[in-house]
Structure 1
Amino acid sequence: MEFVSIDFETANEKRNSPCAIGIVTANENGVTDEYYSLINPMMHFSPFNKRIHGITEDDVRDAPTFAELWPTLEAYLSNKMVVAHNASFDMSVIRATLDYFDIIYPTLDYLCTANISRNVWPQLFNHKLNTVAAYHGITFEHHHALEDARVAAKILIKAFETYATAELDIFLKKCNMSKGKIYERGYVPPRSKRKKRSTRLYLK
Protein backbone atom coordinates (compact mmCIF):
# COMPACT_ATOMS: atom_id res chain seq x y z
CA MET A 1 0.00 0.00 0.00
CA GLU A 2 1.33 3.43 -0.90
CA PHE A 3 0.94 6.14 1.74
CA VAL A 4 2.24 9.57 2.74
CA SER A 5 3.53 10.30 6.25
CA ILE A 6 3.56 13.90 7.50
CA ASP A 7 4.62 15.92 10.51
CA PHE A 8 4.25 19.62 11.38
CA GLU A 9 6.05 21.79 13.87
CA THR A 10 4.24 24.94 14.96
CA ALA A 11 5.45 28.36 16.05
CA ASN A 12 3.05 28.65 18.97
CA GLU A 13 -0.11 27.17 20.46
CA LYS A 14 -2.23 28.15 17.45
CA ARG A 15 -2.88 25.35 14.97
CA ASN A 16 -2.55 27.78 12.04
CA SER A 17 1.11 28.50 12.89
CA PRO A 18 3.06 25.73 11.08
CA CYS A 19 6.76 26.58 10.86
CA ALA A 20 8.06 23.32 9.36
CA ILE A 21 6.70 20.31 7.53
CA GLY A 22 8.17 16.90 6.77
CA ILE A 23 6.64 14.59 4.18
CA VAL A 24 7.65 10.99 3.45
CA THR A 25 6.10 8.81 0.76
CA ALA A 26 6.41 5.09 1.33
CA ASN A 27 4.94 1.64 0.85
CA GLU A 28 5.26 -1.66 2.72
CA ASN A 29 8.81 -2.04 1.39
CA GLY A 30 10.16 1.30 2.62
CA VAL A 31 10.54 5.02 1.92
CA THR A 32 10.32 6.16 -1.71
CA ASP A 33 10.53 9.97 -1.44
CA GLU A 34 11.04 12.74 1.12
CA TYR A 35 10.29 16.46 1.30
CA TYR A 36 11.07 19.06 3.97
CA SER A 37 10.52 22.79 4.22
CA LEU A 38 10.53 25.52 6.79
CA ILE A 39 7.38 27.66 6.73
CA ASN A 40 7.01 31.33 7.61
CA PRO A 41 3.92 31.40 9.88
CA MET A 42 3.80 35.22 9.83
CA MET A 43 3.25 35.29 13.60
CA HIS A 44 5.19 35.09 16.86
CA PHE A 45 7.11 32.07 18.14
CA SER A 46 6.44 31.04 21.71
CA PRO A 47 9.45 30.26 23.94
CA PHE A 48 7.90 26.85 24.72
CA ASN A 49 7.69 25.82 21.06
CA LYS A 50 11.17 27.12 20.31
CA ARG A 51 12.54 24.95 23.13
CA ILE A 52 10.82 21.90 21.63
CA HIS A 53 11.91 22.15 18.00
CA GLY A 54 14.65 24.79 18.02
CA ILE A 55 13.18 26.79 15.12
CA THR A 56 13.21 30.59 15.52
CA GLU A 57 11.86 33.66 13.75
CA ASP A 58 15.23 34.19 12.08
CA ASP A 59 15.20 30.66 10.65
CA VAL A 60 11.93 31.20 8.78
CA ARG A 61 12.36 34.84 7.80
CA ASP A 62 12.94 33.96 4.12
CA ALA A 63 10.90 30.75 4.10
CA PRO A 64 7.71 30.46 2.04
CA THR A 65 4.32 30.88 3.66
CA PHE A 66 1.93 27.94 3.87
CA ALA A 67 -0.16 29.40 1.05
CA GLU A 68 2.93 29.64 -1.16
CA LEU A 69 3.85 26.04 -0.34
CA TRP A 70 0.34 24.67 -0.71
CA PRO A 71 0.52 23.68 -4.42
CA THR A 72 3.53 21.47 -3.58
CA LEU A 73 1.91 20.07 -0.43
CA GLU A 74 -1.38 19.44 -2.18
CA ALA A 75 0.40 17.36 -4.84
CA TYR A 76 1.74 15.12 -2.08
CA LEU A 77 -1.49 14.87 -0.07
CA SER A 78 -4.52 15.11 -2.35
CA ASN A 79 -6.35 11.80 -2.91
CA LYS A 80 -3.73 9.92 -0.87
CA MET A 81 -3.68 7.84 2.28
CA VAL A 82 -1.94 10.10 4.80
CA VAL A 83 -0.56 9.02 8.18
CA ALA A 84 0.83 10.92 11.15
CA HIS A 85 1.65 10.15 14.77
CA ASN A 86 -1.12 11.80 16.80
CA ALA A 87 -2.81 12.61 13.50
CA SER A 88 -5.50 14.71 15.16
CA PHE A 89 -2.84 17.41 15.69
CA ASP A 90 -1.38 17.37 12.18
CA MET A 91 -4.78 17.22 10.49
CA SER A 92 -6.02 20.12 12.61
CA VAL A 93 -2.94 22.11 11.51
CA ILE A 94 -3.87 21.44 7.88
CA ARG A 95 -7.52 22.41 8.38
CA ALA A 96 -6.84 25.49 10.53
CA THR A 97 -4.19 26.84 8.16
CA LEU A 98 -6.28 26.22 5.06
CA ASP A 99 -9.14 28.01 6.82
CA TYR A 100 -6.82 30.91 7.66
CA PHE A 101 -5.83 31.32 4.01
CA ASP A 102 -9.35 30.55 2.75
CA ILE A 103 -8.13 27.55 0.73
CA ILE A 104 -10.46 24.65 -0.09
CA TYR A 105 -9.67 21.41 1.71
CA PRO A 106 -8.16 18.59 -0.36
CA THR A 107 -9.73 15.13 -0.34
CA LEU A 108 -7.62 12.59 1.52
CA ASP A 109 -7.91 9.60 3.84
CA TYR A 110 -5.82 9.42 6.98
CA LEU A 111 -4.69 7.19 9.83
CA CYS A 112 -2.99 7.78 13.18
CA THR A 113 0.09 5.69 13.89
CA ALA A 114 -0.28 6.38 17.63
CA ASN A 115 -3.71 4.72 17.60
CA ILE A 116 -2.39 1.93 15.39
CA SER A 117 0.46 1.38 17.84
CA ARG A 118 -1.99 1.07 20.73
CA ASN A 119 -3.75 -1.73 18.87
CA VAL A 120 -0.67 -3.54 17.52
CA TRP A 121 1.65 -3.20 20.55
CA PRO A 122 -0.65 -2.78 23.58
CA GLN A 123 2.12 -3.96 25.95
CA LEU A 124 4.08 -0.69 25.61
CA PHE A 125 3.84 1.59 28.66
CA ASN A 126 2.91 4.49 26.35
CA HIS A 127 2.66 5.05 22.62
CA LYS A 128 4.55 8.28 22.13
CA LEU A 129 6.61 8.48 18.95
CA ASN A 130 9.95 8.10 20.74
CA THR A 131 8.68 5.15 22.81
CA VAL A 132 7.42 3.20 19.80
CA ALA A 133 10.57 4.07 17.85
CA ALA A 134 12.81 2.82 20.68
CA TYR A 135 10.81 -0.43 20.86
CA HIS A 136 11.69 -1.05 17.21
CA GLY A 137 15.30 0.10 17.54
CA ILE A 138 14.72 3.25 15.46
CA THR A 139 16.93 6.22 16.33
CA PHE A 140 16.06 9.74 15.20
CA GLU A 141 16.13 13.46 16.00
CA HIS A 142 12.80 13.99 17.75
CA HIS A 143 10.78 17.13 16.87
CA HIS A 144 12.44 17.55 13.49
CA ALA A 145 9.49 17.39 11.10
CA LEU A 146 11.14 15.20 8.47
CA GLU A 147 12.64 12.82 11.02
CA ASP A 148 9.30 12.45 12.82
CA ALA A 149 7.47 11.84 9.53
CA ARG A 150 10.04 9.22 8.58
CA VAL A 151 9.62 7.40 11.90
CA ALA A 152 5.82 7.41 11.60
CA ALA A 153 6.20 5.79 8.17
CA LYS A 154 8.52 3.14 9.61
CA ILE A 155 6.07 2.44 12.44
CA LEU A 156 3.27 1.80 9.96
CA ILE A 157 5.55 -0.52 7.97
CA LYS A 158 6.37 -2.41 11.21
CA ALA A 159 2.63 -2.70 11.88
CA PHE A 160 2.12 -4.16 8.39
CA GLU A 161 4.85 -6.69 9.13
CA THR A 162 3.35 -7.60 12.51
CA TYR A 163 -0.08 -8.24 11.03
CA ALA A 164 1.41 -9.82 7.89
CA THR A 165 -0.58 -7.64 5.49
CA ALA A 166 -0.35 -4.31 3.69
CA GLU A 167 -3.87 -4.61 2.28
CA LEU A 168 -5.62 -1.65 3.89
CA ASP A 169 -9.04 -3.21 4.42
CA ILE A 170 -7.54 -6.34 5.97
CA PHE A 171 -5.12 -4.32 8.09
CA LEU A 172 -7.86 -2.02 9.44
CA LYS A 173 -10.04 -5.01 10.24
CA LYS A 174 -7.19 -6.58 12.22
CA CYS A 175 -6.64 -3.24 14.00
CA ASN A 176 -10.38 -2.93 14.59
CA MET A 177 -10.19 0.63 13.21
CA SER A 178 -11.69 2.83 10.53
CA LYS A 179 -9.82 5.44 8.51
CA GLY A 180 -10.43 9.17 8.81
CA LYS A 181 -11.15 11.52 5.95
CA ILE A 182 -10.73 15.19 5.05
CA TYR A 183 -12.90 16.53 2.25
CA GLU A 184 -14.02 19.85 0.82
CA ARG A 185 -16.62 20.61 3.46
CA GLY A 186 -15.25 18.92 6.56
CA TYR A 187 -13.60 15.87 8.05
CA VAL A 188 -14.27 12.57 9.79
CA PRO A 189 -11.71 11.31 12.34
CA PRO A 190 -10.47 7.70 12.32
CA ARG A 191 -12.09 5.56 14.98
CA SER A 192 -11.34 2.44 16.95
CA LYS A 193 -14.34 0.17 16.70
CA ARG A 194 -15.66 -1.33 19.90
CA LYS A 195 -15.28 -5.05 20.12
CA LYS A 196 -18.52 -6.92 20.61
CA ARG A 197 -18.90 -8.35 24.06
CA SER A 198 -19.71 -12.01 24.28
CA THR A 199 -23.11 -12.77 25.78
CA ARG A 200 -23.05 -15.25 28.63
CA LEU A 201 -25.85 -16.78 30.61
CA TYR A 202 -25.29 -17.11 34.32
CA LEU A 203 -27.44 -19.55 36.25
CA LYS A 204 -28.03 -19.18 40.00
Structure 2
Amino acid sequence: MDFVSIDFETANEKRNSACAIGIVTVNENGIKDEYYSLINPMMRFSSFNKRIHGITEDDVIEAPTFAELWPTLGNYLSNKMVVAHNASFDMSVARATLDHFNLEYPNLDYLCTANISRNVWPQLQNHKLNTVAAHLGFTFAHHHALEDARVAAKILMKAFETYGTAELDIFLKKCNISKGKMFERGYVPPRVKRKKQSAKLYLK
Protein backbone atom coordinates (compact mmCIF):
# COMPACT_ATOMS: atom_id res chain seq x y z
CA MET A 1 0.00 0.00 0.00
CA ASP A 2 1.19 3.50 -0.81
CA PHE A 3 0.94 5.99 2.05
CA VAL A 4 2.52 9.06 3.65
CA SER A 5 3.56 9.16 7.31
CA ILE A 6 3.76 12.52 9.10
CA ASP A 7 4.72 13.97 12.46
CA PHE A 8 4.53 17.51 13.83
CA GLU A 9 6.31 19.09 16.76
CA THR A 10 4.78 22.22 18.27
CA ALA A 11 6.27 25.28 19.97
CA ASN A 12 3.66 25.45 22.72
CA GLU A 13 0.22 24.19 23.72
CA LYS A 14 -1.47 25.87 20.75
CA ARG A 15 -2.21 23.53 17.88
CA ASN A 16 -1.27 26.20 15.31
CA SER A 17 2.30 26.42 16.67
CA ALA A 18 3.95 23.80 14.44
CA CYS A 19 7.73 24.19 14.63
CA ALA A 20 8.88 21.06 12.76
CA ILE A 21 7.46 18.48 10.38
CA GLY A 22 8.69 15.10 9.21
CA ILE A 23 7.22 13.29 6.20
CA VAL A 24 7.98 9.77 4.95
CA THR A 25 6.48 8.34 1.78
CA VAL A 26 6.07 4.59 1.36
CA ASN A 27 5.21 2.34 -1.57
CA GLU A 28 5.09 -1.43 -2.06
CA ASN A 29 8.91 -1.57 -1.95
CA GLY A 30 9.25 0.28 1.37
CA ILE A 31 10.33 3.82 2.24
CA LYS A 32 10.57 5.86 -0.95
CA ASP A 33 11.23 9.46 0.17
CA GLU A 34 11.74 11.53 3.31
CA TYR A 35 11.27 15.23 4.01
CA TYR A 36 12.06 17.30 7.10
CA SER A 37 11.85 21.00 7.86
CA LEU A 38 11.87 23.30 10.84
CA ILE A 39 8.97 25.77 10.82
CA ASN A 40 8.92 29.29 12.19
CA PRO A 41 5.63 29.41 14.15
CA MET A 42 6.02 33.17 14.73
CA MET A 43 5.06 32.74 18.39
CA ARG A 44 6.56 31.85 21.74
CA PHE A 45 8.09 28.51 22.67
CA SER A 46 7.06 27.02 26.00
CA SER A 47 9.74 25.58 28.27
CA PHE A 48 7.75 22.32 28.44
CA ASN A 49 7.76 21.82 24.66
CA LYS A 50 11.42 22.80 24.37
CA ARG A 51 12.30 20.10 26.88
CA ILE A 52 10.39 17.53 24.83
CA HIS A 53 11.84 18.15 21.36
CA GLY A 54 14.84 20.42 21.99
CA ILE A 55 13.82 23.00 19.38
CA THR A 56 14.20 26.66 20.43
CA GLU A 57 13.32 30.10 19.09
CA ASP A 58 16.90 30.52 17.83
CA ASP A 59 16.65 27.32 15.78
CA VAL A 60 13.70 28.57 13.72
CA ILE A 61 14.64 32.23 13.20
CA GLU A 62 15.49 31.63 9.55
CA ALA A 63 13.08 28.73 9.01
CA PRO A 64 10.12 29.14 6.63
CA THR A 65 6.62 29.67 7.96
CA PHE A 66 3.97 27.00 7.53
CA ALA A 67 2.33 29.10 4.79
CA GLU A 68 5.62 29.26 2.91
CA LEU A 69 6.04 25.50 3.22
CA TRP A 70 2.46 24.62 2.35
CA PRO A 71 2.92 24.27 -1.45
CA THR A 72 5.52 21.55 -0.74
CA LEU A 73 3.59 19.95 2.12
CA GLY A 74 0.35 19.99 0.15
CA ASN A 75 2.00 18.07 -2.69
CA TYR A 76 2.98 15.35 -0.23
CA LEU A 77 -0.43 15.12 1.46
CA SER A 78 -3.17 15.94 -1.03
CA ASN A 79 -5.21 12.95 -2.24
CA LYS A 80 -3.02 10.54 -0.25
CA MET A 81 -3.45 8.03 2.54
CA VAL A 82 -1.77 9.73 5.52
CA VAL A 83 -0.78 8.01 8.76
CA ALA A 84 0.45 9.34 12.09
CA HIS A 85 0.87 8.00 15.60
CA ASN A 86 -1.90 9.64 17.64
CA ALA A 87 -3.24 11.05 14.39
CA SER A 88 -5.84 13.15 16.24
CA PHE A 89 -2.96 15.40 17.39
CA ASP A 90 -1.14 15.71 14.06
CA MET A 91 -4.35 16.24 12.07
CA SER A 92 -5.52 18.89 14.53
CA VAL A 93 -2.15 20.68 14.15
CA ALA A 94 -2.59 20.61 10.38
CA ARG A 95 -6.17 21.91 10.53
CA ALA A 96 -5.44 24.62 13.11
CA THR A 97 -2.43 25.88 11.18
CA LEU A 98 -4.28 25.84 7.87
CA ASP A 99 -7.08 27.80 9.55
CA HIS A 100 -4.57 30.27 11.02
CA PHE A 101 -3.18 31.06 7.57
CA ASN A 102 -6.57 30.76 5.85
CA LEU A 103 -5.27 27.98 3.60
CA GLU A 104 -7.46 25.40 1.90
CA TYR A 105 -7.60 21.94 3.48
CA PRO A 106 -6.25 19.06 1.39
CA ASN A 107 -8.46 16.12 0.54
CA LEU A 108 -6.94 13.04 2.14
CA ASP A 109 -7.68 9.82 4.01
CA TYR A 110 -5.86 9.07 7.25
CA LEU A 111 -5.16 6.38 9.83
CA CYS A 112 -3.81 6.33 13.38
CA THR A 113 -1.00 3.86 14.08
CA ALA A 114 -1.67 4.12 17.82
CA ASN A 115 -5.19 2.74 17.30
CA ILE A 116 -3.88 0.14 14.88
CA SER A 117 -1.21 -0.92 17.39
CA ARG A 118 -3.84 -1.43 20.09
CA ASN A 119 -5.56 -3.90 17.80
CA VAL A 120 -2.49 -5.70 16.41
CA TRP A 121 -0.46 -5.87 19.65
CA PRO A 122 -3.05 -5.68 22.47
CA GLN A 123 -0.68 -7.28 24.99
CA LEU A 124 1.55 -4.19 25.28
CA GLN A 125 1.48 -2.17 28.50
CA ASN A 126 0.64 0.95 26.48
CA HIS A 127 0.73 1.96 22.84
CA LYS A 128 2.92 5.05 22.92
CA LEU A 129 5.23 5.39 19.94
CA ASN A 130 8.37 4.49 21.88
CA THR A 131 6.69 1.47 23.50
CA VAL A 132 5.50 0.01 20.20
CA ALA A 133 8.85 0.78 18.55
CA ALA A 134 10.75 -1.01 21.33
CA HIS A 135 8.46 -4.04 21.04
CA LEU A 136 9.16 -4.23 17.31
CA GLY A 137 12.90 -3.61 17.69
CA PHE A 138 12.97 -0.16 16.09
CA THR A 139 15.46 2.36 17.50
CA PHE A 140 14.96 6.08 16.95
CA ALA A 141 15.39 9.56 18.41
CA HIS A 142 11.97 10.17 19.94
CA HIS A 143 10.34 13.59 19.36
CA HIS A 144 12.37 14.35 16.25
CA ALA A 145 9.65 14.82 13.65
CA LEU A 146 11.32 12.86 10.86
CA GLU A 147 12.37 10.00 13.17
CA ASP A 148 8.85 9.75 14.59
CA ALA A 149 7.29 9.78 11.12
CA ARG A 150 9.69 7.08 9.96
CA VAL A 151 8.90 4.82 12.92
CA ALA A 152 5.14 5.31 12.46
CA ALA A 153 5.60 4.21 8.83
CA LYS A 154 7.54 1.13 9.95
CA ILE A 155 4.83 0.29 12.50
CA LEU A 156 2.14 0.33 9.82
CA MET A 157 4.24 -1.78 7.48
CA LYS A 158 4.83 -4.28 10.29
CA ALA A 159 1.10 -4.32 11.10
CA PHE A 160 0.29 -5.19 7.49
CA GLU A 161 2.93 -7.93 7.59
CA THR A 162 1.53 -9.28 10.86
CA TYR A 163 -1.95 -9.52 9.39
CA GLY A 164 -0.60 -11.07 6.19
CA THR A 165 -2.05 -8.66 3.67
CA ALA A 166 -1.05 -5.70 1.52
CA GLU A 167 -4.65 -4.74 0.77
CA LEU A 168 -5.96 -1.77 2.75
CA ASP A 169 -9.61 -2.84 2.79
CA ILE A 170 -8.73 -6.31 4.05
CA PHE A 171 -6.39 -4.87 6.68
CA LEU A 172 -8.99 -2.37 7.97
CA LYS A 173 -11.58 -5.14 8.18
CA LYS A 174 -9.21 -7.29 10.23
CA CYS A 175 -8.44 -4.31 12.48
CA ASN A 176 -12.12 -3.40 12.72
CA ILE A 177 -11.14 0.20 11.94
CA SER A 178 -12.46 2.74 9.44
CA LYS A 179 -10.21 5.35 7.85
CA GLY A 180 -10.60 9.03 8.63
CA LYS A 181 -10.97 11.79 6.08
CA MET A 182 -10.01 15.45 5.79
CA PHE A 183 -11.71 17.74 3.32
CA GLU A 184 -12.25 21.46 2.89
CA ARG A 185 -13.09 22.83 6.36
CA GLY A 186 -14.09 19.45 7.68
CA TYR A 187 -12.94 16.03 8.75
CA VAL A 188 -14.15 12.61 9.88
CA PRO A 189 -11.88 10.82 12.38
CA PRO A 190 -10.93 7.17 11.97
CA ARG A 191 -13.19 4.93 14.01
CA VAL A 192 -12.58 1.73 15.92
CA LYS A 193 -15.72 -0.24 15.18
CA ARG A 194 -17.34 -2.07 18.03
CA LYS A 195 -17.67 -5.77 17.48
CA LYS A 196 -21.24 -6.96 17.44
CA GLN A 197 -22.04 -9.18 20.38
CA SER A 198 -23.93 -12.34 19.64
CA ALA A 199 -27.36 -12.59 21.21
CA LYS A 200 -27.54 -14.62 24.40
CA LEU A 201 -30.46 -16.79 25.36
CA TYR A 202 -31.37 -16.82 29.04
CA LEU A 203 -33.75 -19.50 30.35
CA LYS A 204 -35.47 -19.57 33.70
**TM-score interval for Structure 1 and Structure 2 normalised by the shorter chain:** over 0.9
Which residue of structure 2 lines up, in the alignment, with residue 124 of structure 1?
Answer: 124
Q: Secondary structure at the match of 2:170?
A: helix
Shift of 1:73: 0.1
Cα shift readout 1:167-186 (whole Å, capped 9, x = no counterpart): 11110000000000000130
Pairwise mapping of residues 167-186 of structure 1 onto structure 2 (< 5 A)?
167-186=167-186
Unaligned runs of 5+ in 1: none
Contact 1:12 1:44 in 2 (8 A): yes
User: Residue type of the partner of 1:111?
Assistant: L
Shift of 1:115: 0.2
Pairwise mapping of residues 105-116 of structure 1 onto structure 2 (< 5 A)?
105-116=105-116
Q: Secondary structure at the match of 2:166?
A: coil
Unaligned runs of 5+ in 2: none
Q: TM-score, normalised by structure 1?
A: 0.99
Give the Cα–Cα distance (whole angstroms) in 1 for the partners of residues 196 and 27 of structure 2.
Answer: 32
Give the Cα–Cα distance (whole angstroms) in 2 for the partners of residues 137 and 104 of structure 1.
Answer: 39
Shift of 1:188: 0.3
Shift of 1:166: 1.6
Q: Which contiguous aligned blocks of 4+ residues in structure 1 show a shift greater than 2 angstroms?
A: none
Which residue of structure 2 lines up, in the alignment, with residue 93 of structure 1?
Answer: 93
Shift of 1:103: 0.5
User: How many residue pairs align between the two structures?
Assistant: 204
Q: Secondary structure at the match of 2:25?
A: strand
Q: Secondary structure at the match of 1:125?
A: coil
User: Residue type of the partner of 2:155?
Assistant: I
CA RMSD of aligned residues (A): 0.7
Pairwise mapping of residues 25-36 of structure 1 onto structure 2 (< 5 A)?
25-36=25-36
Give the Cα–Cα distance (whole angstroms) in 2 for the partners of residues 27 and 202 of structure 1.
Answer: 51
Pairwise mapping of residues 43-58 of structure 1 onto structure 2 (< 5 A)?
43-58=43-58
Give the Cα–Cα distance (whole angstroms) in 1 for the partners of residues 120 and 130 of structure 2.
Answer: 16
Which residue of structure 2 lines up, in the alignment, with residue 10 of structure 1?
Answer: 10
Of all paired residues, the percent bearing the same amino acid is 85
Query: Does the alignment pair 1:137 with 2:137?
Result: yes
